[in-house]
Amino acid sequence: MDAEWDLMKPFVPMVGKEGHLSVAAVLMLTGFFLTGLFSINKSVTTAPLLAIPASLALGFGSVYLICAVGVYV
């Protein structure tokens, strides 16, 4: 078991700590932009095209923003 443990590679995240703030900014700006577009034109057809991606971008952007400032969840 110890030999297998020693052969394992350490976890390397796709986005490093130094990139959290830029990813958060892009996601949050995208989320706010899509939210603005959805608030201008509310219809059943724009909900899946604008509202769902906006909520996902704001959700993931807020998590990245929290991690960027040092509060790890």
pLDDT digits (tens, 9 = 90+) for 45-69: 888 899 999 999 999 999 999 999 9
Domain ranges for the chain: 18-68
Q: What CA–CA distance (Å, rounded) separates 53 from 72?
A: 24
Q: For residue 14, what are its two tokens?
A: 């796709």
Q: What CA–CA distance (Å, rounded) separates 24 from 67?
A: 9
Average pLDDT, the chain: 90
Half-sphere exposure of 5 (CA within 13 A, CB side): 2
Q: What CA–CA distance (Å, rounded) separates 63 from 15?
A: 13
Q: 1 falls in which pLDDT band (50, 70, 90)?
A: low
